[in-house]
């Protein structure tokens, strides 16, 4: 009987050691999303979306976990400034006949200070105090949406006005192009062919030659007229001189 006591004590110590040893991570975070609530039968999320208005009643964080652990599961909410807004230990809801379950937690918005904390929020899922999942959602105001719409309408009006101006300028350019095309066609009809160009060049060359010759002839004629005048004046002077001699 005494020989069995050491064996029994060793067995108890071994069992305690196994219980105290850290267990390997067996669960898996399958998916997570933000929603309004979930179906109590299928456990699927309802009203999925990561952006809500400041007057929305609430928003929830839904996470699906396979091989659900028996450890503590906690969901922590942080506002846009990084300040913790809420933390809650949640109970896993198992899916009947399946090896998975879900956890869900939500915060109220319209009836709390959350409605004034506009921007991006962070939500974290902790299992046994270790972060296993994180996600973000956004709270926006209805007034900001209206202002964005008003700004969009103003931009659309400005673009439309600019488009109308461009269309008017385009019509003017098209009209000018049409006029230039008509003028070009008329000019082509008047100018003629390359043979006409050559004939015109020949005529110009002949005319220029005649002009040059005329200039030379005119110069010669002027010299002859000048010489004749000089001779005539000289003759008159001689005649007057000799006439004066005879009278004396």
| Concatenated DSSP letters of 4-52 | HHHHHHHHHHHHHHHHHSPPPP--EEEEEEEESEE-TTT--EES--SEE
Work out the number of other CB atoms within 10 angstroms of the CB of residue 33. 16
Q: Which CATH number characterizes residue 120's domain?
A: 2.60.40.1930
Domain-located, residue 228: no
pLDDT tens string 56-94: 999 999 999 999 999 999 999 999 999 999 999 999 999
Residues of the chain with pLDDT under 70: 1-24, 188, 191-193, 197, 211, 218-219, 221-248
Alpha-carbon gap, residue 12 to 96, rounded angstroms: 35
Domain-located, residue 171: no
Domain-located, residue 217: no
Domain-located, residue 82: yes
Number of domains in the chain: 1
Q: Is 176 helix (H, G, I), strand (E, B) or coil?
A: helix
Domain-located, residue 155: no
Domain-located, residue 116: yes
Domain-located, residue 149: no
Q: Please give the pLDDT value at position 237.
A: 53
Q: What is the residue range of 116's domain?
A: 4-140
């Amino acid at each position: 009987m005494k020989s069995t006591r050491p064996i029994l004590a060793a067995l108890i110590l071994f069992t305690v050691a196994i219980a105290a040893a850290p267990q390997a991570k067996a669960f898996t975070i399958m998916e997570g999303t933000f929603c309004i609530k979930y179906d109590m039968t299928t456990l699927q999320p309802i009203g999925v979306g990561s952006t809500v208005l400041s007057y929305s009643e609430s928003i929830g964080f839904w996470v699906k976990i396979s091989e659900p652990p028996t450890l503590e599961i906690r969901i922590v909410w942080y506002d846009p400034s990084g300040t913790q807004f809420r933390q809650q230990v949640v109970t896993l809801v198992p899916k009947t006949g399946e090896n998975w379950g879900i956890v869900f937690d939500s915060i109220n918005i319209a009836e709390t200070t959350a409605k004034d904390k506009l921007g991006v929020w962070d939500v974290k899922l902790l299992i046994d105090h270790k972060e296993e999942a994180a996600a973000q959602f956004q709270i926006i105001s209805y007034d900001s949406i209206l202002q964005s719409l008003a700004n969009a309408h103003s931009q659309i009006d400005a673009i439309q006005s600019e488009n109308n101006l461009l269309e008017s300028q385009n019509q003017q350019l098209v009209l000018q192009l049409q006029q230039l095309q008509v003028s070009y066609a008329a000019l082509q009809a008047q100018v003629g062919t390359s043979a006409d160009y050559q004939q015109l060049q020949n005529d110009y060359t002949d005319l220029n030659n005649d002009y040059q010759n005329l200039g030379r002839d005119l110069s010669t004629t002027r010299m002859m007229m000048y010489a004749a005048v000089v001779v005539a004046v000289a003759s008159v002077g001689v005649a007057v001189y000799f006439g004066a001699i005879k009278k004396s």
